[in-house]
Each structure stands twice: as structure tokens, then as C-alpha cells.
Amino acid sequence: MKYMFDWKKDINKKELDKAIEVIKNNGLVLVPTETVYGIAANALEDEACKKIFEAKGRAQDNPLIVHVSDKNMLKSLVKNISTVEEKLIDAFMPGPFTLILEKNESICKTASAGNSTIGIRMPSNSIIHELIKESNIPLAAPSANISGRPSGTNVQDIFEELKDKMDCIIDGGNCKIGIESTVVKVIDGVPTILRPGFITEDDIKKAVGRVALSSNLFKKIEENQSVESPGMKYRHYAPKTKCVLVENSENQIDIINNILKENENACVVGFSEDKDYIRTKKFIDLGSKNNLEKIAHNIFSALREIDKENVTLAIIEGVEKKGLGLSIMNRVVRACENNIIH
Ligand code: TXA
Ligand code: MG
């Protein structure tokens, strides 16, 4: 690592020039966004984007999201934009939203993994926004984590994992949202959610009148299966410790206490109000079950916390698969590798 900047309070203009220099030299910058941290590089250069794949150990067929500062930059990277797509852009950008569009030739082949489409996102976080705007370079940026591991939502959580792989690390404090953007592709005129996120099904329905959910969101996908989004196929968000998800139900607490009877060395990742009723010494608090935004904010750090507890099993409390709860469950189901108690 060449540079480490602390911008928790303010963006330092001199340091910003150094970060821009790293981008212009095809280097990697660890940068905060409102969703999760990203590993950013010049989206127009194969050499730069190849480094992202190497640093993450990412499958070659899994394309990157390209981040832009404004609508003009977005338009410079894609072919035609339909009326529905235009509406989605106006409703949700800037923000935690990624739209899959037909790309033109400017984005490098490595970023799009050879596909004719590209995911475009316009982040609202001021740090990544300034980096894109001032460099005038669209930035390819996947979530900041080694592939398969939980995404990073603060620098402490990912520093050891990534410090030797980055040229520049920008610490912008905790990410506001904590889970990744909603990935949407308009298929036959219908906005279809390929990865649920902070922008929910309802939000999209309200904005454009129609919405669909990919049928693959909670399925275990085989390596050679064809899916709308390559990311669906791969192991994701998983702690090293074995995890089991106890789905939302009336007797969630009893089920957990029963599992604990047979697994003494287990921790529980659960809701604040359940803490006193769950018989474990190692409780990782997700916040109140009534505050889904807080749970979304805490979930990746909680998943990383599990491996620090020295346990043989982690039992995770599930939320209802509705609204933001659906997006949280999408991450947790994958973290548990479909090891679920209904
Ligand atoms: O919030 C976010 O989106 C974060 C921050 C850093 O912006 N980025 C992020 O990127 O989560 P990544 O690479 O970890 O996840 C991108 C997801 C993957 O599941 C990938 O398969 C899917 O988006 N994706 C990217 N391009 C696609 C495309 N052209 N068609 C279908 N799916 C695509
Ligand atoms: Mg990711």
C-alpha cells in the first residue's frame, strides 16, 4: 500500500490528487460508497480491471459494476436507454441502485467480463463521487472483500485482508447503508431485480408501475447453470465458521435454545430483544428486529465477527422476507450456504 488517507471528517484535496494519480496509473483504490466499500479502478483499462480480479480472486466470468458521477458520464458508456430505464435512472440515481444496460465499446472487456451489457451505478457517497468527478474516469468497483467473504462496510474489517493488495486506502468511516446496491435489469419492459438491496421491490413498483423478482434469488445454483447474473452462482458472504439460519417464526427462540443444547460451543447472531431469552454466552447483536435498516447496516460486520468468536457453529436469526428484509435474507441465506431451519 502506497497511501492511506483518513477522510472520515473531510475530503483532503491534496490527497484526492494522489488518489486520482493512482487511478490514472491503473492502480487500485479502496474507497467507501454509501452501500459497502469498493475496490476501484479505471473501468476503461483492461490492465487496471485485471488487478481487481486478481486482488479479489474473483471468477473471470463475473462482471464488475461501473460507477459514474452523473448522467452524462452514464450516457457516454451505454447504447440506447429505454423509457423505463430512463425512469429508473431518474428515480434512483444517485443512490444504492445498479442498472444493467447495453454497453458501447468504451468500457474494457475485462470489466464487463466479455458481456454486451454493463451494470452502471451512480453512488451518492461524496468520497467516491469526488474521485470519479475529479478524475473524470468511470470506476469499476466490486465490493471490498476476497471473493466469497462478507463485504466490507468499514476499513477495520477488511484492512488485514486487503492492505497488501491496494495502492491506496481511503477511510471514510462506516458505510451508511451496509448492504450492496439493488441490481436491476429491464427484461421485456419489466424491471427485474437480479440482486435485492436497499431499494426494494415496492420502491421500484411505485416509481415505474412494474417490477419482477428473479426466480433465482434464493436458489442454490450449479456452476454450469445459466442465470441472469453470474454473481448468483458463487459462494458469497460466508464466514469460515459453519452457520445455520433459523427462519423467522413464532418459536424462533425455542428452536435456537434447542440447537444450543446440542452445540455448546456456538454463538448466536440475533435481535436485541431476544438476547435475554437465548441461552448463549456469545451473542452478536444485530439490533432490534423492528429496525431492518439497522440490521442491514450491521449484518456484514456481524458475519465477520463470527470468525473472531472461536466457535464451531453460528446460529443466525432470520427476518421476514419482505421489503428490506428480503435483501437481508438474501445475504444471510448465502452466508449459511442454504443451511436453513424452517
Ligand atoms: O453496492 C454495490 O453495488 C457495491 C459497491 C462497491 O458499489 N458493488 C458491488 O459489486 O456489490 P460486486 O461486484 O460485488 O457485485 C456485482 C453484482 C454481481 O453479483 C454481478 O454478477 C452482478 O452484479 N452484475 C454485474 N454486472 C452484471 C451484468 N452485466 N449482468 C448481470 N449481472 C451483473
Ligand atoms: Mg460482492
Provide the residue ranges of all domains of the chain, joining segments of one domain with +.
3-213, 243-341
CA 335 – CA 141 distance, rounded (Å): 22
**Do the Cβ atoms of 176 and 125 come closer than 8 Å?**
yes
Q: Is the pLDDT of residue 219 over 90?
A: no
Beta bridge partners of 242: 313
Task: Give the Cα separation of 108 and 113 in Å (integer).
Answer: 9
Percentage, residues of the chain above pLDDT 70? 100
> Which is the closest atom of ligand 1 to the Cα of 39?
6
Ligand 1, atom 18, lies closest to the CA of 231
pLDDT band at 206 (very low <50, low <70, confident <90, very high): very high
Region class of 122: left (phi > 0), else alpha (psi between -120 and 50), else beta: beta
Looking up cell 490492465 gives 47
The predicted structure's pLDDT at residue 225? 83
Q: Whose CA is nearest to atom 32 of ligand 1?
A: 229
* 119 Cα to the center of ligand 1, angstroms: 7
Residue with cell 469498493: 38
Does the pLDDT of residue 222 top 90, yes or no? no
Q: What percent of the chain has pLDDT over 90?
A: 92
For residue 148 the three cell numbers come to 466469497
Superfamily of domain 243-341: Threonylcarbamoyl-AMP synthase, C-terminal domain (3.40.50.11030)
Write the pLDDT tens digit of every residue in 32-84: 999 999 999 999 999 999 999 999 999 999 999 999 999 999 999 999 999 99
- Could you tell me the distance, in angstroms and rounded to a whole number, from the CA of residue 231 to the centre of ligand 1? 7
User: Among the atoms of ligand 1, which is closest to the Cα of residue 123?
Assistant: 7
Q: Which ligand is nearest to the CA of 142?
A: 1
User: What is the pLDDT averaged over residues 86-105?
Assistant: 98
Cβ-Cβ contacts under 8 Å for 180 (sequence gap 6 or more): 35, 36, 96, 143, 151, 195, 197
Give the Cβ contact number of residue 169 at 10 Å: 23
Q: How far is the CA of 64 from the centre of ligand 1 (A)?
A: 6
Q: What is the 3-state secondary structure (H, E, C) of the chain?
A: CCEEEECCCCCCHHHHHHHHHHHHCCCCEEECCCCCCEEEEECCCHHHHHHHHHHHCCCCCCCCEEECCCHHHHHCCECCCCHHHHHHHHHHCCCCEEEEEEECCCCCHHHHCCCCEEEEECCCCHHHHHHHHHHCCCEECCECCCCCCCCCCCHHHHHHHHCCCCCEEEECCCCCCCCCCEEEEEECCEEEEEECCCCCHHHHHHHHCCCEECCCCCCCCCCCCCCCCHHHHCCCCCCCCEEEEECCCCCHHHHHHHHHHHCCCEEEEECHHHHHHCCCCCEEECCCCCCHHHHHHHHHHHHHHHCCCCCCEEEEECCCCCCHHHHHHHHHHHHCCCCEEC
Q: Which atom of ligand 1 is nearest to the CA of 118?
A: 29
* Stretch 294-301: mean pLDDT: 98
User: Distance between alpha carbon 198 and the CA centroid of its chain, in Å?
Assistant: 10
User: How, if at all, do strands 242-246 and 340-341 pair?
Assistant: parallel
Domain 3-213 has CATH 3.90.870.10: yes
Question: Quick one: which atom of ligand 1 is closest to the CA of 195?
Answer: 19
What is residue 105's predicted lDDT score, i.e. its pLDDT? 96
Residue 203 C-alpha to ligand 2 middle, in angstroms?
23
User: Structure pTM?
Assistant: 0.97
Q: Is the separation of the CB atoms in 106 and 77 below 8 Å? A: yes
Mind listing the pLDDT tens digit for each residue in 229-257? Answer: 988 888 888 999 999 999 999 999 999 99
Q: Which atom of ligand 1 is found nearest the CA of 144?
A: 6
End-to-end Cα distance, the chain = 45
Which pLDDT does position 233 carry in this prediction? 85
Q: Whose CA is nearest to atom 3 of ligand 1?
A: 181
pLDDT at 18: 98
Measured by CA distance, the residue closest to atom 15 of ligand 1 is 142
Residue whose CB lies within 8 A of the most ligand 1 atoms, among 68, 143, 193, 228, for a mutation test: 143
pLDDT at 223: 75
With a Cβ cut-off of 6 Å, ligand 1 is lined by 33, 35-36, 38, 62-65, 98, 100, 115, 117-119, 121, 141-143, 180-181, 183, 194-195, 229-231
Mean pLDDT (whole number) for 16-44: 98
Give the atom of ligand 1 at the shortest distance from the alpha carbon of 40: 6
Q: In this predicted structure, what is the pLDDT of residue 81? A: 97
Give 140 Cα–ligand 1 centroid separation in angstroms. Answer: 10
**Ligand 2 centroid – CA 280 distance (Å):** 31
